[in-house]
Structure 1
Amino acid sequence: MPAIALALPSGGSSAAVPVAVLVAAVLHAVWNGLAHRIQDKLVGFALINLAYTACAVVLVALNPLPAAAAWPYLLASVVMQVVSQLLLLRAYQLGDFGQMYPIARGSAPLLVAVLSVTVLGQGLGGGELLGVLVISCGLIGLAFAKGIPGRAQLPALGAAAGTGVMIASYTVLDGSGVRQAGTVGGYVAWLFLLQGPSLALIAWIRRGRGLFVGVGPVVPVGIAGGVLSLTAYGLVVWAQSRGSLAAVAALRETSIVIAALIATMVFRERLGRLRMTASATVLAGIAVLELARP
């Protein structure tokens, strides 16, 4: 993300890296909050995607083209990213922000750990296993925060969990694809450029000309969400190039707790002690899991 990273400190300051990641965590939670705030979620996600598509056009012009070997990974990741957004959109339509966001975000590191054992054949150390168990406990607490889920809650929980599956899938794909690309900035720029129009096109197919009727008041919110999303990703990439990848990944998940605060203060959702404790438990488990990796 050279276009974004150029505005950041160029030195290897130990303080700059965690500050950048914390800012990225805040921005990630905020743009998700903005998406949830727009009453028509389909319109909100379409606007957000169009906004960062416009930004991606600039980034594509400023970065080299990824190597040919990276394109199968990149295209598969685009599909996963679009499906992830559609599932997250559905989760926000059906459930509370304070419950859906932690389940979607927190389940991804857990699933990545499971995939590393079942698919890649990599064993889990004691610290990693502890992290998996702690995350599992936190997710169970979030899922049962309102008691045993009835049929009415299952679609929302399923959409949030499905989002986590997609996040875990494209995380594995991008981890391989970036190594083949020869350019982090070019890979990410094309990822956003291809992903954004895809979701906007799906929204157009669903609604046609009526998609953006009367949406003038929420256009600034959608644009802000798209810019924040792309900026958050740029900050994380910059931090990963200068700090410990495991520490950056763990610190980034503070967005879960930030999202819980947004849900309480902005959306007036009653999180209660159980949901707050469960969110903090997921965060703690992610930190243990990431920091325990070699």
Structure 2
Amino acid sequence: MPGNLPLLTGSAAVPLVVLASAVLHATWNGLTHGLRDKLAGFTLISLASAGCGAVLVCFAPPPAPAAWPYIAASAALQATYQLLLLRAYQLGDFGQMYPTARGTSPVVVALVSTTLLGHSLPVGQAIGIAVISCGLAGLALADGLPCRAQLPALAAALGTGVMIASYTLVDGTGVRVSGSVFGYIAWLFLCQGLVLPLIALARRGPALFTALRPLCGRGLTGGLLSLLAYGLVVWAQSRGDLSTIAALRETSIVFGALIGAFVFRERLGHRRVTAAATVLVGIAVLQIAGQ
């Protein structure tokens, strides 16, 4: 589990863990986007989170009292994130919505962590984050500027990115005061996993259970991948710089672009390839600056 990684104790392990999380994140998003009933799919993901959290809290040391406000705030932010992402996927294409949502986050995290939280950001790391963000924007806009009909989808995707940045900052602070990374992750999974199923039940009523049955396999698999992806990130946040982690985890967009091309048969094109290469250059700059 992310709280018990004895072989990954040095700072050099942090980028590897975050990159592994990025692959898992792109994969579960691809699984979810491929579901026809996306509300049911997201509900199953949340149920997997709540179920695993309920098991893990039985074995995890409880977090310190100072961490509980952060857990509550993160649970609310992640439920909002799921609803916005769900709406974005209902309205737009995976190849545009996913990079737009993920690409917004590192810029917001960097700005807030340096201006409001007082964290330092060396020039080299700032350049790396800027290069990554430019590459992510290129992936999002590779097919040109959105038309008016696409604006609601784009607004939902941008709102998703803001929520990602918000819970990243909340968890980055909360896990450091928790005294128990494992306990923080376990209780966060349990709390945030209960919110969306309750919302879905209020919307659909008993018909929700019928909708869940045929999607159980893919939905629960996506949920487990989602849990592992975010658990790895929270572990990394307890050991590394928030802005660097936020930027590295958004490399999931590169993997998302590949999923869009090879799974959903979306056109990759030279613009997407160039943008993906820009992201990789930014990662290299970020790592060199952090050494």
Q: Which residue does the alignment assign to 2:127? A: 130
Equivalent residue in structure 1 for 2:256, among 245, 255, 259: 259
Structure 1: distance between partners of 2:111 and 2:242: 19
Contact 1:253 1:286 in 2 (8 A): no
Instruction: State TM-score, norm by structure 2.
Output: 0.86
**1:36 and 2:36 matched:** no
Structure 2: distance between partners of 1:14 and 1:85: 31
SS of equivalent to 1:62:
coil
CA distance 1:243–1:144, shift in 2 (3 Å): closer
Contact 1:239 1:248 in 2 (8 A): yes
Deviation at 1:283, TM superposition (A): 5.0
Q: Deviations over 1:265-291 (max 9, x none)?
A: 111111322233224434543564576
Structure 1: distance between partners of 2:80 and 2:14: 31
**1:227 and 2:220 matched:** no
Aligned pairs for 1:62-211 (under 5 A) are 62-121=59-118, 124-211=121-208
- Read off the aligned partner of 2:55 and give its amino acid letter: V
Structure 2: distance between partners of 1:193 and 1:180: 19
Deviation at 1:17, TM superposition (A): 6.8
Structure 1: distance between partners of 2:147 and 2:62: 49
Aligned pairs for 1:2-41 (under 5 A) are 10=7, 20-41=17-38
Q: Deviations over 1:29-53 (max 9, x none)?
A: 1111111111111111001110121
Structure 2: distance between partners of 1:283 and 1:157: 25
**1:277 and 2:274 matched:** yes
SS of equivalent to 1:145:
coil
Deviation at 1:224, TM superposition (A): 0.5
- In structure 1, runs of 5+ residues without a counterpart are none
Deviation at 1:238, TM superposition (A): 5.5
Structure 2: distance between partners of 1:148 and 1:200: 35
Q: Which residue does the alignment assign to 1:60? A: 57
Contact 2:171 2:234 in 1 (8 A): no
- In structure 2, runs of 5+ residues without a counterpart are none
Structure 2: distance between partners of 1:253 and 1:20: 13
CA distance 1:76–1:159, shift in 2 (3 Å): same
Structure 1: distance between partners of 2:243 and 2:111: 17
Structure 1: distance between partners of 2:232 and 2:214: 29
Give the aligned length: 291
Contact 1:247 1:291 in 2 (8 A): no
Contact 1:66 1:181 in 2 (8 A): yes
- Read off the aligned partner of 1:171 and give its amino acid letter: T
- Read off the aligned partner of 1:50 and give its amino acid letter: L
CA distance 1:103–1:286, shift in 2 (3 Å): farther
Contact 1:253 1:283 in 2 (8 A): no
Q: Deviations over 1:147-169 (max 9, x none)?
A: 22211111122111111111111
Deviation at 1:26, TM superposition (A): 2.1
Contact 1:135 1:286 in 2 (8 A): yes
Structure 1: distance between partners of 2:198 and 2:253: 30
SS of equivalent to 2:56:
helix
What is the RMSD of the two structures over their aligned residues, measured on CA atoms?
Answer: 3.0
CA distance 1:170–1:242, shift in 2 (3 Å): closer
CA distance 1:251–1:209, shift in 2 (3 Å): same
Identity of aligned residues (%): 63
